[in-house]
Amino acid sequence: TCSVDRFLILWKLKTQCRAYRFAGHVEAVTSVEFSPDGQVLASASHDHTVRLWIPCIHGESSVLKGHTASVRSVNFSHDGHSVVSASNDKLIKIWSVYYQRLLFTLFRHTGWVRCAKFSPDGRIIASCGEDKSVNIWDTRNKICVNSFSDDEGFATFVDFNPSGTCIASAGSNNTVKLWDIRTNKLLQNFKVHRAGVNCISFHPSGNYLITASTDGTLKILDLLGERLIYTLHGHKGPVLCVAFSKGGEKFASGGKDAQVLLWKTNFDALDYEEVIKHNFRRTHIDDPPHLLDIYPRSSHFHGEKLKSVLVNPTFDVPDKQTPDPAVIDIRLSSAIST
């Protein structure tokens, strides 16, 4: 996890809970992500830098400098070789993890860039900014190949579905939109929140999308059924981020209340290993996109009239809060050696 307190905290969630606190950034940390193999962490900060960390007690990290304003997001490519960063300097930069240097910069946005993500096969980058555009980039030619615009507001977060055929954007205007990047069509438009949406995460099956909003709630959308199925309460104030676990059996959320909540899903009927294998077959770099990955079937608007199940852990799951773990401070040491 990362926070405006300038720290990264690595949580050991199994028996004998521990929290390892990494210091290095000198301003708020805005984004953090594990590499696909779990061997490296990348973080972004208002201090204009991206940092790479070895998540161990030695505290090794390297600073990647190049942005001239706050960095808002970081994301690894599927092979873990590259990191993409988005910044308030209106630029997107792609970095080599192995050589710890800048590879290239993408120019097009005319406002602050809030988020940039690699597609599952690494061939495409999707980005969104306060210029009200969502851009699609070809990583080989380093050009913008398509752009979606939203006149109502700007996208605060963007991500690919597991097959890489669709993107979802979270909007400052309370909406969540799904776009087909092959036909360039808007597939779904959900307006189920009462305030801006800050973050979204696809379930590994691609059938569900979870959203985090300034209205203090998380919501789970059934994309096949085109409906809202769960509204989750628990944070006291805006919910800033949310992410499904790799298998989809859990998800974590972070809020302005300085809390991280860990949730268990009730999608137990799914065999998660089969889900992951199935999606790997679809997203492998040599496979063409699968036509069945285009859901939903229509682009009609989904409003708040849909009923959903309300879940409030305060009432439904009493006395389940984990006691605060022992915090171990990790001091900065040498830079990462390749």
Tell me what pLDDT residue 219 has.
96
Longest Cα–Cα distance of the chain, Å, equals 55
Q: Which two tokens stand for residue 235?
A: 């944070």
Domains and CATH numbers, the chain: 7-330 (2.130.10.10)
Tell me what pLDDT residue 150 has.
73
The secondary structure of residue 81, as a DSSP letter, is S
Contacts of 124 (CB under 8 A, 6+ apart): 118, 136, 137, 138, 139, 160, 164, 181
CB atoms within 10 A of CB 139: 20
Compute the distance between CA of residue 295 and CA of residue 248 in angstroms, rounded to an integer: 19
Tell me what pLDDT residue 217 has.
96
Q: Can you give the pLDDT of all 338 residues of the chain as single tens digits?
A: 999 999 999 998 887 788 999 999 999 999 999 999 999 999 999 999 999 999 988 888 999 999 999 999 999 999 999 999 999 999 999 999 999 999 999 999 999 999 999 999 999 999 999 999 999 999 999 999 999 887 678 999 999 999 999 999 999 999 999 999 999 899 999 999 999 999 999 999 999 999 999 999 999 999 988 889 999 999 999 999 999 999 999 999 999 999 999 999 877 554 545 544 554 544 444 444 333 333 333 444 555 555 667 777 665 554 455 677 888 998 877 777 76
Q: Residue 132: what are its φ and ψ, rounded to 5°?
A: 70, 20
Q: Which of 75, 84, 137, 81 is nearest to 109 (CA)?
A: 137
Contacts of 211 (CB under 8 A, 6+ apart): 170, 176, 190, 192, 193, 197, 199, 200, 218, 219, 220, 221, 242
Tell me what pLDDT residue 146 has.
93
Q: Which of 180, 70, 194 is nearest to 130 (CA)?
A: 70
SS3 category, 292: helix
Compute the distance between CA of residue 282 and CA of residue 289 in angstroms, rounded to an integer: 6
- End-to-end Cα spacing for the chain: 25
Tell me what pLDDT residue 299 has.
44
